[in-house]
């Protein structure tokens, strides 16, 4: 067919070219992440079921705190994100994403609160409506 030898490979930019050669994790790392995840799930479950904190608001904030810690555990032990991975670019991208999420969520809550406050008639006004 042709005088040149060709292969189906993609040359130097093949499918395995982007791998850094770093180990993705060990059994001990995965077990540590699993145990921490179970603990960080069991404690909020216990807080809700026992009513240990007394207030629903305090319990909700405690659960959100445990959820944030569990997100960090998953990122470190299962997604293998650190300052060393990919030269720190993965954490920089994560930081940018978190900033956008915070701006979007806080802006949405702000708009919904003000729409509720400024647009909804009060009970006194509702009684005067025909």
Question: How would you class 86 by CB atoms within 10 Å of its CB: exposed for 0-12, middle for 13-18, buried for 19 or more?
Answer: middle
| Domain spans, the chain | 25-80, 84-122
- What pLDDT score was predicted for residue 10? 54
**Confidence class for position 116, pLDDT limits 50, 70, 90:** confident
pLDDT one-digit tens code per residue, 80-112: 888 787 887 888 888 898 899 899 989 998 888
**Statement: residue 18 has pLDDT above 80:** no
**Confidence class for position 20, pLDDT limits 50, 70, 90:** low
**Statement: residue 27 has pLDDT above 70:** yes
In angstroms, the CA 81 to CA 45 distance is: 27
* Residue 88, CB-side half-sphere exposure with 13 Å CA sphere: 1
Terminal-residue alpha carbon distance, the chain: 88
């Amino acid at each position: 067919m042709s005088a040149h030898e060709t292969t189906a490979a993609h040359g130097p930019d093949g499918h395995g070219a982007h791998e850094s050669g770093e180990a993705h994790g060990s059994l001990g790392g995965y077990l540590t992440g699993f145990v921490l995840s179970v603990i960080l799930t069991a404690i909020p479950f216990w807080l809700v079921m026992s009513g240990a904190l007394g207030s629903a608001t305090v319990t909700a904030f405690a659960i959100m705190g445990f959820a944030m810690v569990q997100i960090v555990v998953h990122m470190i032990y299962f997604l293998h994100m650190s300052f060393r991975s990919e030269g720190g670019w993965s954490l920089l991208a994560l930081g940018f994403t978190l900033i956008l999420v915070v701006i979007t969520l806080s802006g949405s809550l702000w708009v919904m609160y003000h729409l509720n406050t400024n647009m909804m008639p009060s009970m006194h006004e509702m009684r005067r409506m025909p």
